[in-house]
Copies of this chain bind each other. A is one copy, B any other.
Amino acid sequence: MFKVYDGGVCFAKGFTASGLHCGIRKNKVKRDIALIYSEKIATAAAVYTTNLVKGAPLTVTKNNIANGKAQAVICNSGNANTCNANGIEIAEKTCELVASALNIDKTDVVIASTGVIGQPLDIAPFESGLPLLAKALSTNGNEDAAEAIMTTDTIKKEIAVEFTLNGKTCRIGGMAKGSGMIHPNMATMLVFITTDVNISAEMLNKALSSDIKETFNMISIDGDTSTNDMVSVLANGMAGNEEITCENEDYIKFKSALNFVNTSLCKMIAGDGEGATKLLICSVEKAPTKQTAITVAKSVICSNLLKCAIFGADANWGRVLCAIGYSGCDLKIDKIDVSFKSNKGEIAVCKSGAGVEFSEEKAKEILLEKEIEIKVNLNDGNESVSAYGCDLTYEYVKINGDYRT
């Protein structure tokens, strides 16, 4: 239904991007600011963290795209601009600088920040950096932009897909950052998606809001919900398809492509969790309700004890049952089956709520792989869902024991 390409936020028609080091990170030369520009004003939608403590950029973005329109995205790493007395002022000034560099309206800017909370953010690096950033915009700039938004991420996270709507070639590209403080609820880490699909603001919002429930909201790295999470989509309509204004066949096709983009970015984010050595996927099947499936899957993927066990390739399935048990759902424990699966095969470890004999050797072989699926069958309905996470390692502790210095 769609083809996957190398590429990111410049894959869709009319989008350019850039990323460079402007000095927000004092002691590092890593790129720390990213810009995305759409030559045509785009329909915009975004979802935000549910944390009561919110980064100032989120408030400004929410105001800016209240009319469903945006033309540029600016994002810095190294400082979250959160819990700062003058945070809103700095974020608004930054939008003005973007507007003047690109000759667009200052309210057509999506702004985001990621990094340390509660440290004053200076406007100077933005003043000197923005003209250069605007100048550097190109259709090859997606990698620089994806690098500029990284914090403790170890890999750039990009994805691009192509599909057709009634004969018209349409594209979606995206980039994400996210490695720690990830336990989204209603919104998530920083994800920027661009598409040339022609779609109304209402339908774009609908597609995004419903999709994140089974994608970004199902990731957990460490149970901490960030203050700065945001997923935004810009759709500039340059594919030339008939505008999507209702839940027609085109909408379903678009949603399916968007879901693929989001799921791909989810796996990249979870697998690159701070200090992670493995991507964990907990698939819950045959749940009585969707909410039960979601709650059980998240409870399992969030268990520190299970995350440590998988790091040690230890088939300690009791911890899976334990996490299911404290999920708060009304469950029939004696119906539950659990198995571990990877490229090396699948092994049943628990049937009807009790342990079964299994080869520890085979289990070890399966759990030594880089991508592990924990399959939970509740045998009590027809709903299913997957949650995404990673193992808990020495490196996570190291990274977070000394993040600010």
Contacts and interface: CB of A to CB of B under 8 A. Distances in A.
A226 B396 CA distance: 24
Contacts of A353: 53, 83
Contacts of A392: 397, 400
B83 A326 contact: no
Contacts of A80: 318
Given A83-B353, A311-B397, A180 B318 contact: no
A351 to B, nearest CB: 10
A397 B312 CA distance: 9
A117 B321 contact: yes
Given A305-B222, A316-B404, A331 B394 contact: no
A148 B355 CA distance: 26
Contacts of A82: 318
For the side of the interface on A, what is the size category?
35 or more
A224 B323 CA distance: 7
B404 A398 contact: no
A84 B185 contact: no
A400 B322 contact: no
Copies of this subunit = 2
Given A84-B354, A317-B118, A326-B185, A302 B223 contact: yes
A82 to B, nearest CB: 7
A64 interface: no
A99 interface: no
Interface core residue of A308, A392, A399 (most chain B CB under 10 Å)? A308
Interface string A51-74: 111100000000000000000000
A322 B117 contact: yes
A356 B398 CA distance: 26
Contact of A53 (B180, B181, B322, B401): B322
A393 interface: yes
Nearest to A119: B355
Contact of A52 (B226, B319, B325): B325
Contacts of A397: 308, 311, 392-394, 396-397
A89 to B, nearest CB: 13
A355 B84 contact: yes
B401 A312 contact: yes
A9 interface: no
A405 interface: yes
A103 to B, nearest CB: 35
Nearest to A329: B52
Contacts of A398: 394
A405 B363 CA distance: 14
Contact of A51 (B222, B326, B393): B326
Contact of A322 (B181, B324, B350, B396): B181
A309 interface: yes
A311 B400 CA distance: 9
A353 B51 CA distance: 14
Contacts of A321: 53, 83, 117-118, 227
A181 B185 CA distance: 24
Interface string A242-278: 0000000000000000000000000000000000000
A217 interface: no
A225 B316 CA distance: 16
Given A305-B403, A312-B401, A397-B397, 17 more contacts: A52-B331, A83-B321, A83-B353, A83-B354, A116-B318, A117-B321, A118-B321, A180-B305, A224-B304, A224-B319, A225-B325, A225-B326, A308-B397, A308-B403, A309-B403, A314-B402, A392-B400
18 contacts: A51-B325, A52-B324, A52-B329, A53-B325, A54-B325, A83-B353, A84-B354, A84-B355, A116-B316, A117-B322, A118-B350, A118-B354, A223-B303, A224-B303, A225-B325, A227-B322, A308-B397, A308-B401
